[in-house]
Structure 1
Amino acid sequence: MNRYDFDNRVAVVTGGGQGIGREVAERILAGGGKVSIWDRDAALLEKTVAELGADVAEGRVVDIGDLASVESATRATIAAQGRIDILINNAAIVGPNMPTWEYPPEAFIDVVHVGLTGTFHCCRSVVPHMIERNYGRIVNLSSIAGKEGNPNAVAYSATKAAVLALTKSLGKELAGKDISVNAVTPAIAKTAGAMGQSPEHIAYILAKIPRGRMLELSEAASMICFLASEENSFTTGATFDLSGGRATY
């Protein structure tokens, strides 16, 4: 496993209580950094922080869909840690699997509220601090569904496509500073959200991966952590493929 240098760096990882977010948090800690995990599951947060070590990890109960909650967490994290160098926008919900014309409007709103509006809230709140310090690394988790669109997953596909556009827009706005904004497009991995989908849908998207298997959490964390490192000093507004060969562009 490659070690990325995160000495004296502070990272915010949304939805970091489990799955890819937790794997990223562990890799950042292994590189000498500190993490603030933002999640809305208080019990999961407490368990995760205890396992990672309260001396290097903190947990904050945050509803990223609520701007006031995000702004409060941003202020509290800066007060406690001194700064925020890295923002990993990982939190999302998948939603049900059904045709667009049968998709519940309230479920569509929920998926967009967390995955897109929440990502916007976090960027809006943290970026001014990064601008002030002229340093930052932002990694937004999109999905291969955002590139190609998965049938029976209209809200998730639309949300993840919008995250790519948000990344490109913000990346261009910040390109004159030492702040990078990039996105990754994972295929299905064994996360709670992904595995909560219907067996038929899981089989369908797995069959489309030329590698013939799911993405490993460690594989996702490796790419994300490079993009979050100081070494990633040139590329911004870009999308990095984690689809096992499925992506067509």
Structure 2
Amino acid sequence: MISKRLERLRRMMSCLDHQDKIHIKELVRLLEVSEMTVRRDLNSDYASNFGIESYGGYVRKETNKNILNVEASSSMEESTKLISELIFSEDVVFFDSGKYNGQLIDMINQDVSFTGVTTSLNTFMFLKSKPNCKPVLLGGSYDDLNDVFISHNNDILKSMVYSKSFLTPNGLHDEFGATVETEYCASVAKSVLSRTIEKYLVCSNESLDTVSKFSVCEVGVFNYFISFENTSNPVVSQGGGTL
């Protein structure tokens, strides 16, 4: 299960905050799982997101990657600073209708001049509140159930190139990847991802190990993960990034 695996990897990372390395057998004891489970966790794609690696019978922090990461114990001020530094002047950024977009947008530095693009009315209003943001609302008829404007003939959506995109799938699963509730939202997400330089996946507890109706992509497509398991203190970690 993804949620349990992420929790074990987070606990491993916490152990390594106090020592350079830890033996796998010690992790087996601390996590109360089998050695095979620990090794599967360490060999999963998610291990690199936390910046840890195994060598011999030990586990240590990776030494060859610059992992962007904020620990769950970090202050809200540190998290806000980290997220605010993700958006630069002249960036063109896509946000979907995810429920954490207001919090993310609020964290963007007020002085940064960027273009914010969305199909969501709620997200548009958050973007509109930023003094140096040029908000762009794409769409046609309004779907109030999913908070998106639907246009099946939107050339702008197909031609725009995004510096960054923030997508919040309804479901995240090892086998089925990122999934959403509607076919239209899936098509928008696919189109945006195909034209995005840096891809951010925004996830929460309720999306983990869940499968929705329509597939978007494999989880490894995203460059970065923003976890809202603790809604007042998001965690950002580095991911794969191949589409």
Report the structure, 1 or 2, having the larger strand content: 2
Greater RCO between the two (CA within 8 Å, min separation 6)? 1
Structure with larger Rg:
2
Same fold? TM cut 0.5: no
TM-score normalised per structure 1: 0.43
